[in-house]
Structure 1
Amino acid sequence: MNNILFIEHILSDKSDLGQQLSEQGYSVHSVNNAFDALIQMETTQLEAILLDFSVPKMDSFWVLVARQTRTPIIVLADSSSELERINALELGADDYLARPINVRELQLRLNVLHRRIQVPVNDTVNDYIGFDDTCYTISFADKSLVLTQTEYRLFKYLFERQGVVVTKEELQRRVLHKELGRFDRNLDMHISNTRRKLVKRNLPRELINTVRGQGYSFNF
């Protein structure tokens, strides 16, 4: 299900817009301040962010300027003011809609934004992924992710063997420098922690793919 973050002035379980989006198959997460918005942005894979411009301006501006996600933002405003629209776009909004909101139009705009940000994954990875061996940091597009030394080495080892299934035994020997015991779960724990950190930075956890009964592979 596609997740929509709705930053609105007054929270309401009976929000007409939220209800109509839910009927269209979206999962709507409503918040009314920048702090809760940033938490949702860090913990949820979002399709888009809808920002009600009636939210106190400091919160609205802060979210637009300081956002840490490439998720499209659509500003919802009470008027079609040209100045306000320009202001919103200058602050980083991707689109602007004045009330009354037509849900069908909003859905079409969401689809357009979704298509616009779609980039072939192979191109994205090859062009933007980078490694900093001194800080154990990977960079992906405009994001950076700091890992532990072991997590970093596991990720890089898999990346350098793209398209190849690497067995747990090989990873255990080459990266953890010990043999894989029958009940040893250290490797799985490091992989799980790395995936969790990827998700928190809105990066695809599926970059590290589990091949059942065989091991792991770097997956585009």
Structure 2
Amino acid sequence: MKHILLIDLHSAAHELFHQLTAQGYYVHQVDNAFDALIKMETLTLEAILLDFAVPKMDSFWLLVARQAPTPIIVIADANNELERINALELGADDYLSQPVNVRELQLRLNVLKRRSQPAINDVKPAQISFEDDTYTVNLVDKPLVLTQTEYRLFKYLFERQGEVVTKAELQQRVLHKEHGRFDRNLDMHISNTRRKLVKGNLPREMINTVRGQGYSFSF
């Protein structure tokens, strides 16, 4: 369940509450800074929707709120340009105008989420770790659970990153069998591993096919 903190006083907030709930969000609605801070400290939130009209929503409070990793989206008056600028200057991640369009809110949340995730091109070897007992690879804090064979193939290619590893070598060192001309067992394991990478929002190109030679691992 995705939790959203809604800090709002307007009557329109009730409509927004029901719309978000219908979309599968669990909405925590408060009308003061004190209750908002309690929610921030006790919940893992998808986003904070903040209306400046709520009492004590001054610059000091917003600066405190900025210490949280949760995206803060200010609900601003569409006709008040200064309010929108002020919100961004104080550290808000984004703003929406009244009345809030839930579909637009979801799209903006997706954008903020992508911005907060490190790009795969910035991944360093130190950010990849292996759990041999559970056959799990942790890539930028994303766990990738593999079968024993898939795990051994991934780890072997990772340890030889930058090199082209032939199919014959992988068959012998990982699958412990000779590579037959019509044997597609190795290709099947590689294909399944790539499918799991994609499912985990990771690029399948981490395991590259080098035509006529074998496979290589790259970031």
Between the aligned partners of 2:179 and 2:141, the Cα distance in structure 1 is 36
Q: Which amino acid aligns with 2:134?
A: C
Between the aligned partners of 1:205 and 1:120, the Cα distance in structure 2 is 11
TM-score (norm 2): 0.56
Residue equivalent to 1:179? 178
Counterpart of 1:56 in 2: which secondary structure? helix
Q: 2:25 aligns with which of 47, 52, 60?
A: 60
Residue equivalent to 2:149? 150
Between the aligned partners of 1:196 and 1:94, the Cα distance in structure 2 is 34
Between the aligned partners of 1:168 and 1:179, the Cα distance in structure 2 is 10
Q: Contact 2:150/2:190 (CA < 8 Å) preserved in 1? A: yes
Q: Contact 1:74/1:97 (CA < 8 Å) preserved in 2? A: no
Q: Which amino acid aligns with 1:137?
A: T
Between the aligned partners of 2:109 and 2:26, the Cα distance in structure 1 is 22
Residue equivalent to 2:192? 193
Shift of the 142–214 alpha-carbon distance from structure 1 to 2, 3 Å rule, reads: same
Between the aligned partners of 1:201 and 1:120, the Cα distance in structure 2 is 12
Displacement of 1:177 in angstroms is: 0.7
Q: Contact 1:135/1:146 (CA < 8 Å) preserved in 2? A: yes
Between the aligned partners of 2:216 and 2:177, the Cα distance in structure 1 is 20
Shift of the 112–131 alpha-carbon distance from structure 1 to 2, 3 Å rule, reads: closer
Between the aligned partners of 1:91 and 1:119, the Cα distance in structure 2 is 18
Between the aligned partners of 2:210 and 2:130, the Cα distance in structure 1 is 24
Residue equivalent to 1:162? 161
Q: Contact 1:138/1:145 (CA < 8 Å) preserved in 2? A: yes
Q: Contact 2:47/2:70 (CA < 8 Å) preserved in 1? A: no
Residue equivalent to 2:136? 137
Kindly report which structure 2 residues correspond to 1:1-220, keeping only aligned pairs within 5 A, or say none: 54-56=19-21, 59-61=24-26, 80=51, 92-93=70-71, 95=73, 97-99=96-98, 117-119=117-119, 121=121, 123-220=122-219
Say which is worse superposed, 154-163 or 127-136, in terms of deviation. 127-136
Aligned pairs, number: 158
Counterpart of 1:130 in 2: which secondary structure? strand
TM-score (norm 1): 0.56
Between the aligned partners of 2:165 and 2:123, the Cα distance in structure 1 is 23
**Gapped runs of 5+ residues in structure 1?**
1-33, 36-51, 68-72
Shift of the 174–180 alpha-carbon distance from structure 1 to 2, 3 Å rule, reads: same
CA-based RMSD: 4.2
Moved over 3 A (4+): 79-83, 88-96, 98-102, 106-120
Q: Which amino acid aligns with 2:205?
A: E
Q: Which amino acid aligns with 1:56?
A: T
Displacement of 1:183 in angstroms is: 0.9
Shift of the 201–151 alpha-carbon distance from structure 1 to 2, 3 Å rule, reads: same
Displacement of 1:97 in angstroms is: 2.7
Which is higher, the Rg of structure 1 or of structure 2? 2
Shift of the 181–94 alpha-carbon distance from structure 1 to 2, 3 Å rule, reads: farther
Shift of the 94–180 alpha-carbon distance from structure 1 to 2, 3 Å rule, reads: farther
Residue equivalent to 1:22? none
Q: Contact 1:165/1:216 (CA < 8 Å) preserved in 2? A: yes
Displacement of 1:120 in angstroms is: 6.5
Q: Which amino acid aligns with 1:97?
A: L
